[in-house]
Amino acid sequence: MSADRPLGRVLVTGGAGFIGSRLLRRLLPLSEHVTVIDDCSTGIPEAVPPSGKIDFIRASYVDEALLDRTLPGTDYVFHVACRNMTLSASQMDEDFQVNLYGGYLLLKKVREVCPGLRRFLYTSTASVYGNAAAYPTAEHEYETTLPYAASKLSMEHYAQVFHRMHGLPVTVLRLSNVYGPGQTTANPYCGVIAKFFDAAEAGEPFPVYGDGRQTRDFTYIEDVLDAIVASATREETAGGVYNVGTGVETSVIRLAHLIADIAGGPRSLSFRPPRTVDVVRRRCLDASLLRREIGWRAGTSIEEGLRLTHLWRKGGGDDADLARND
C-alpha cells in the first residue's frame, strides 16, 4: 500500500447505513480500494458515495461464499452492519443470525483468509449497559436487557476470544446514540433526533415515547468517526474495548426544546406509551479510557451538533466534495 493510502484495501459491512456511509467518506482518501457489503434492509444504496474505488455489493454479509471471495487481501475490516434494536425485540432469530452468528462468521473467515489483516474494528453499542449501576458508565459495567444488547455484547466476547486465542487485531468501540449529517427518516428505525427535526420542520408535535425524562448521551457523527479511524490505526487499541460518548446526559424533553429553538416550529410534545425497547432510563458514558489511550474526546456539544445537523438538512448533501477522494 502507498504512503498516501495507508489503509490499503478495506472492507466495510453496513456501508449503506448512516454510520457506515459517513465512515466511507473518511476512508476513501486513506484507502486504495473499499468493498462495501450491505443488504439495504435498513440502509440506503444512494448513501454510498460515488467513487471508482468502491465495490458495492448489495447482499447480506452473513454468507461464507461471499466472504471467501471478497476478504482475501483485505488490510482493514470495519464491521458496522447489524440488525436494528427496535426490530430485534420482535425478531430475535434474525437478530441472533446477523449480529452474533454473522459477526462470528466474519471473525472466522478473516482469520482464515486474511493473514495480513492490520485491524478488525467492531462498532458495538452503549445498549450493553442497560440501566447501569453508575454514571458516567465505564467499560466494566453491563446489563443485557434486550436481545440487541445480548447479541452485540456476545459478539464483543467472540472478538476478544479471537484476539486472545489467535492474535487477531480486534478493537471494540461502544457507540452512544450517534446523530448528525447523513441521518434521515428514510430509515424508519433512525434515531430520535432525525424524527424530531422532521416534526419541527413540518410544524407538528414532537413524538415522545414515555415521559420524556429519560436521558441519552448523544454523540456527534464526526466525533465518532474520529474515534473509529484513530482507534483502527493505533497500536495501543488492539484488543481493547472502549466507550465512545460525551459524558453528558440530555433528556428527551430538553432535546425537543433545543431542536425547536434551532429549527423553529411549535414546542408541543405528543406523549405516547413506551415501546418494548424503551427500558433504559439514563445513559451517560465514561470515555476516559479512550482519551488516556489515544487522546480522543468528543469535541462537539449537543447544541453545536444539532446546529450543524440543521445546517446540513437545510443545505442538502455533500457529495460534491467527494471528487478529491478519487
pLDDT surpassing 90 at residue 209: yes
| Rounded percentage of the chain residues whose pLDDT exceeds 90 | 87
Mean pLDDT throughout 212-218? 98
Taking domain 9-317, whether its CATH number is 3.40.50.720 is answered by yes
> Do the beta carbons of residue 19 and residue 178 sit within 8 Å?
yes
pLDDT in tens, 16-31: 999 999 999 999 999 9
The residue with greater pLDDT, 270 or 190, is 270
CA distance 121 to 79: 6
Query: Which residues are known to be catalytic?
Result: 148
CA distance linking residue 239 with residue 248, whole number of Å: 27
d(CA 160, CA 116): 18
Smallest CA-to-CA distance from 226 within 148, 295, 132 is with 295
Please give the grid coordinates belonging to residue 34. 473499499
> What are the residue ranges of helices labelled H in 15-140?
18-27, 64-70, 85-88, 92-95, 102-113
Residue 156 DSSP label: H
pLDDT digits (tens, 9 = 90+) for 165-196: 999 999 999 999 999 999 998 887 789 999 99
What's the rounded Cα separation, in Å, for the pair 182 and 224? 13
Is residue 189 within 8 A of residue 170, CB to CB? The reply is: no
Alpha-carbon distances, residue 74 vs 3, 56, 89, 90, 168 (angstroms)? 17, 15, 34, 35, 13
Half-sphere exposure of 172 (CA within 13 A, CB side): 24
pLDDT of residue 325: 40
Extents of the domains making up the chain = 9-317
pLDDT tens digits, residue range 68-126? 999 999 999 999 999 988 888 899 999 999 999 999 999 999 999 999 999 999 999 99
